[in-house]
Structure 1
Amino acid sequence: MSSLSTIGFDADDTLWQNETFYRLTEERFTSLLTEHGDAHTISSRLLEAERRNLQFYGFGIKGFTLSMIETAIDVTEGRVSAATIGEILAAGREMLAHPIETLPHARETLEQLAGSYRIILITKGDLFDQERKLAQSGLGELFDAVEIVSDKNAATYERIFNRYGDGPNRSMMVGNSLKSDVVPAIQAGSWGVYVPHALTWALEHCDEPSDEPRYKRLAHLGELIDLVTQI
């Protein structure tokens, strides 16, 4: 087995908080539309809109905001007020300006690995927003490369690990999403390390690849140092 040389890290909900702010904004959104349905129903309609719109808007806050507006128009049968649309837009802007909160063990883990391995940030979403979060996190100097991609699949990881590392076979991807970070990385031939977050977007759920020999699950990022020394 080839030795590990390159480690990719997801950003949102792996290195810093993200989904928490989506959930809080969604609660604010459903409260604006209480006259038109209960929170669960409106949230379900919003999730349907997000799923439909991924192919048009991609991942991130801007697409989420547009999906909220579309859902508001839908559930009110076109009668949503300009004031409500304004509040939805304001909520989206607040998300884009929210301070970054790094997660426990993120900095110390990156600092211990930097220099011994090639460290790559591999994140998807809006370019400007992801660049903003990376800059505010103070973690940027610890990465040898940063890739902000439109989606994550096996071809994505194969391309990135060949470009910055020694190929997928000597690489590892670490993240909180089984669907985006772990499964496609394993499909590409690398290690896939799952670090669960308390909140995960419904569209990122999938089954754990428990039978895969290159799959690992950690309780938190602090356990990653011991894992890489065993590979």
Structure 2
Amino acid sequence: MEIDYSNIKVIAFDADDTLWVNETYFRKAEEQFADLLEKYETKNKIDQELFRMEMKNLDLYGYGIKGFVLSMIESALQLSNNRVSQATISDILDIGRKMILHPVELLEGVKEVLRKLNGDYRLIVLTKGDLLDQERKLENSGLSKYFHHVEVLSDKKEENYINLLDHLEIDVKEFLMIGNSLKSDVLPIVNIGAKAVHVPFHTTWKHEEVLVEDEHGDYLTINKLTDILKYF
């Protein structure tokens, strides 16, 4: 069944791995972290422990690089039985610093899509993560001029979306969300009666993975962002 987008007036874009590369740098950081701690445990165990620590700390630190770095430090202390050196802690902090300062790498077709949609639709950035980091990336991306509003949420659940749309006085029937995460950008949107487009990224954080049987609802999946222009 073809989805009707004729009523859409507001289009929201996720930021990380939808507008620019993000998860790739986290994967690299995890590899560097495992290299630093390999004398204490196997790399597979280090990876598992770090993810467990991230999940434990998520409600406390939220999403983003800073929380990730704190989880790396806590994991290093635990994996080493508090024997990890100050030099290694310094190396972990340096990993996080380099992530924050990494140049923004736009994904293919982003500027083309925003240029063509701008003016005909109200465009907004709707993402989660660290506020300062996301604001910095948006500014450095050169994309700010295309967006009417930027919102950094603590999470992307149905309640978060409902509250935001109500605050911005956006009719759910006139709203479209575009993002790379089924769990955060697509399924909650479909569940509240809005429309969503899934643009898969080649790397997905384990926390954002969705089991096939959990997928439901009507949404569009495209191979690359520029494919959305066929529908608008």
The bucket for the TM-score relative to the shorter chain is over 0.9
Determine which of 44, 47, 51 is the counterpart of 1:43: 47
Q: Which residue does 1:199 correspond to in 2? A: 203
Q: Secondary structure at the match of 1:119?
A: strand
CA deviation digits over 1:88-138, x for unaligned, max 9?
011111111110000001111011111111101001111110000000000
Distance 1:33 1:108, change over 3 A: same
Q: Which residue does 2:16 correspond to in 1? A: 12
> TM-score, with normalisation over the residues of structure 2?
0.94
Q: Which residue does 2:103 correspond to in 1? A: 99
CA deviation digits over 1:68-99, x for unaligned, max 9?
00110111111111110110011111111110
CA distance in 2, matches of 1:114, 1:207: 35
CA deviation digits over 1:161-197, x for unaligned, max 9?
3444531111110000111111111112111111000
What does 1:42-81 align with in structure 2 at a 5 Å threshold? 42-81=46-85
CA distance in 1, matches of 2:194, 2:74: 39
Stretch of structure 1 that moved more, 1-10 or 59-68:
1-10
Aligned partners of 1:157 and 1:168 also within 8 Å:
no
Aligned partners of 2:191 and 2:217 also within 8 Å:
no
Aligned partners of 1:46 and 1:71 also within 8 Å:
yes
CA distance in 2, matches of 1:161, 1:112: 24
Determine which of 118, 124, 142 is the counterpart of 1:114: 118
Q: Which runs of 5+ in 2 are unaligned?
A: none
Q: Which residue does 2:217 correspond to in 1? A: 212
CA deviation digits over 1:143-178, x for unaligned, max 9?
011101111111222233344453111111000011
**Aligned-partner residue type, residue 82 of structure 2:** G
Q: CA RMSD in A?
A: 1.5
Q: Secondary structure at the match of 2:125?
A: strand
Distance 1:204 1:211, change over 3 A: closer
CA distance in 2, matches of 1:100, 1:29: 22
Aligned partners of 1:6 and 1:165 also within 8 Å:
no
CA distance in 2, matches of 1:210, 1:127: 29
Aligned partners of 1:194 and 1:218 also within 8 Å:
yes
Determine which of 150, 160, 180 is the counterpart of 1:156: 160
> TM-score, with normalisation over the residues of structure 1?
0.94
CA distance in 2, matches of 1:163, 1:71: 39
**Aligned-partner residue type, residue 217 of structure 2:** E
CA deviation digits over 1:12-67, x for unaligned, max 9?
00000001111111111100111111211100100000000000000000000000
Aligned partners of 2:187 and 2:215 also within 8 Å:
no
What does 1:21-32 align with in structure 2 at a 5 Å threshold? 21-32=25-36
Please report how far the alpha carbon of residue 225 of structure 1 lies from its aligned counterpart in structure 2 after TM superposition: 1.3
CA distance in 2, matches of 1:71, 1:167: 44
